[in-house]
Amino acid sequence: MKKVIMIGLLVLTFSPLLVQADETTSGSVNEADTFSETISSERGDDSSQTQESVQTSTESQQEMIQTSSSQEVVGNVQGEATDPDEVIASIQEKTGIKDNSDIEILSEDSSTLRGSLSRGITDGSVTSFTQAQLDRLTDEELDNGNRLAMRYADDTMGFDIGYLARIVGALFVDKILSWEAIEPQLSFNANSYASFADLIPVVDQLQEYFRVVYPPNGVFLSLDQTVSNEWMISILTNLNEAEKEIKVDPDAYTPGRIAWIIHAVNQSLYLPDGAESSDSEETTQATEKQETATTTSSKEAAATADGEKTLPKTNEAPSYTLLIAGIILLLIVFLILWRRKKK
């Protein structure tokens, strides 16, 4: 009986300490809650700025989408390439050559070609290599460089000795172009076909010809964008029809077939119908994604504004200390009464 009473006294003695510890913990939790509410209040003050920032970003991105969409539409509806002068002008702008109207036919004799290049170095028209570098070039290399230059002239239009030197230099001085890769491609000649339509069955060979002979890192013309077979066939089909309508003076210079194709690609002409619908679909998807992002950002901004109401309480948990102490005291009293009744 005495042991039971002593246990009860010990529980009663230490229960205030347990209560005090619980109150200390509760005080810390309350301080954390107060700190959270303070932060929430500060975020609430900045909510208007957040919403303004989201709105500004949304408007800016929507303008970009609209601008991109309008540019794509312009590319799809551009007029047909039926003017040789426009093709010539585009080549001059691309290559930097001032006047290509007169094709300079250079001698196939390597010694004569070497002499022309040497005079060009002396008068300053040839700047792609020095006289010492020219002396190290073999006659075979000069002949091969001249072959590629003449193919470029046949595909597009003529150029002067200075540009021929750039081609020779790219092949055998700077090694920008690979003659080993280009030479096999020279067996393909677009001008040997009777019409643009005749190039459709060999569209894969035409694509490989552009990839190797007119690479993006070359020194002459190149395609500014990737061309699918579907688009290339559309270009060839439309140029075939345009070729029938072009009225050209027999004595006037007309660019080669490759020049017309390069012009059509770089001007985004004759895009197939699938490309138009694909562009429209991509634009619609981009708009929908932007609207979804805008809605999400607005909801996040609204949640930030009401942060003091929605943030969870840190370490929030009910206290069971007093409950346990009460149960123990009740058990002690019950034991005391039970033992007295038994006696």
Name the H helices within 78-193: 84-95, 110-123, 131-136, 139-155, 161-172, 179-182
What does the alpha-carbon distance between residue 119 and residue 228 come to, in Å, rounded to a whole number? 44
**The overall pTM is greater than 0.85:** no
Give domain status of residue 276, yes or no: no
Give dist(CA 65, CA 1) in Å, integer: 87
pLDDT band at 230 (very low <50, low <70, confident <90, very high): very high
pLDDT in tens, 60-98: 444 443 433 333 333 343 456 567 888 888 888 888 776
Q: Is residue 273 situated within a structural domain?
A: no
For the chain, what is the domain count? 2
| Residues spanned by the domain of 248 | 84-267
Our CA dihedral for 224, 226, 230, 234, rounded to 10 degrees, sits at 0
How far is the C-alpha of 109 from the C-alpha of 131, rounded, in Å?
Answer: 19
Same-domain check for residues 161 and 14: no
> In whole angstroms, what is the distance from residue 312 CA to residue 330 CA?
36
pLDDT at 277 over 50: no
Same domain, 96 and 229: yes
The residue out of 232, 267, 302 marking a domain boundary is: 267
Q: How far apart, in whole angstroms, are the C-alpha atoms of residue 173 and residue 152? A: 19
Segment 27-36 long-range contacts (CB within 8 Å, at least 24 positions apart): 28/315, 29/313, 29/314, 29/315, 29/316, 32/313, 32/314, 32/315, 33/313, 33/314, 33/316, 36/311, 36/313, 36/314
Based on the domain organization, do 34 and 175 belong to the same domain? no
Residue listed under structure tokens 């002593």 = 6
**Are 88 and 53 contained in the same domain?**
no
Residue 55 within a domain? yes
Residue type, position 230, single letter: E
- Is 186 part of any domain? yes
23 part of a folded domain: yes
Q: What is the pLDDT of residue 227?
A: 96
The Cα–Cα gap between 16 and 22 comes to 10
Task: Tell whether 226 is covered by a domain.
Answer: yes
Q: Check whether residue 155 and residue 253 sit in a common domain.
A: yes
Please say which residue of 267, 296, 319 terminates a domain. 267
Question: How confident is the model at residue 178, as a pLDDT?
Answer: 96
